[in-house]
Amino acid sequence: MSRPETARRSPEDPVIWHDVECASYGADLELWRELSDVRGGPVLDLGCGTGRVALDLAGHGHRVTGVDAAPALARALSERASARDLPAEALAADVRSLSLPGSAFPLAVAPMQVFQLLGGPSGRAAALTAVRVHLESGGLLAVALADPFEGVAPQEAAPPLPDIREEEGWVYSSTPVSVRVAANGVSIDRLRQAVSPTGEMSESVDSIVLDLVAADELEAEAREQGYRPLPARRVPETPSYVGATVVMLEAAA
């Protein structure tokens, strides 16, 4: 049985905030579709969230398995796929300790900044090792890396516009209020505001730290874990989102 609407729309629910902050992004979907068409399925979607990429690929006929560290997000993806009769499912799992016995994928994708949220080089090494076990020989791992300061000095970088979503009378807004260099990466603070249909507003601040890692740095780390780097691809920036370099890593035979 699904949760009541009032519970799902609670300002503390991670599902709605993932939808607010991520669901509208689509600049990378064409690349993931292309790779899925070329490599075939099933596709492993790392850091799948509520299904932005997985549901799109499933809608184009690819079977997708998603993994996300947040159980609520993985559950939302599975429920949405089931409701739409799409060949996708998700489970809660940490990419750094992934274990899917008997599974072998020709393609794994890590959209947006998934690999920049793993806690530095040791976390990336663990994830590369874990994913390598789940790739077919010659399988591909495609990792998107973003630099919030690309093309602009850190002190001159302006936070992007707020993400806004309205659902059944609720209005949710997530505004980046600070993007700054931190000791271990880039710290991004977001002001989250939820306004109920009757006008009550609640707000909170959510913070994440993205590792700053260059494509050649990740490629060097991947070589040590049994990958062969292929030419990187590029996702262009949009008015609301920075661009990304997509590192292409082939599992060595």
Q: For residue 4, is pLDDT > 60?
A: no
Alpha carbon separation from 130 to 61, 95, 123, 186 (Å, rounded): 26, 7, 11, 25
Question: Per residue in 203-226, pLDDT tens?
Answer: 888 888 889 899 999 999 999 999
CATH classification of the domain holding 38: 3.40.50.150
The label of the residue with tokens 């006929």 reads 61
How does residue 8 score in pLDDT terms, banded at 50, 70 and 90? Answer: very low
Residues 171 and 133 in one domain: no
Residues 71 and 20 in one domain: yes
Residues 40 and 159 in one domain: no
How far is the C-alpha of 97 from the C-alpha of 93, rounded, in Å? Answer: 8
Whole-prediction pTM: 0.88
Residues 222 and 164 in one domain: no
Residues 122 and 135 in one domain: yes
N-term to C-term CA, the chain: 45
Residues 130 and 227 in one domain: yes
Mean pLDDT (whole number) for 177-191? 81
In the chain, the number of structural domains is 2
Residues 86 and 199 in one domain: no
100 vs 148, residue with greater confidence: 100
CATH classification of the domain holding 158: 2.20.130
Strands 64-68 and 88-92: parallel
Q: What are phi and psi of 149, to 5 degrees?
A: -105, 10
Residues 119 and 102 in one domain: yes
Q: For residue 154, is pLDDT > 80?
A: no
Instruction: Identify the pLDDT of residue 182.
Output: 75
- Nearest residue to 162 (alpha-carbon basis) of 185, 115, 194: 194
Q: For residue 134, is pLDDT > 80?
A: yes
Residues 185 and 100 in one domain: no
Mean pLDDT (whole number) for 236-247? 85
Instruction: Identify the pLDDT of residue 149.
Output: 61
Q: For residue 140, is pLDDT > 60?
A: yes
Residues 36 and 121 in one domain: yes
Domain encompassing residue 159: 154-210
Residues 85 and 194 in one domain: no
Residues 188 and 89 in one domain: no
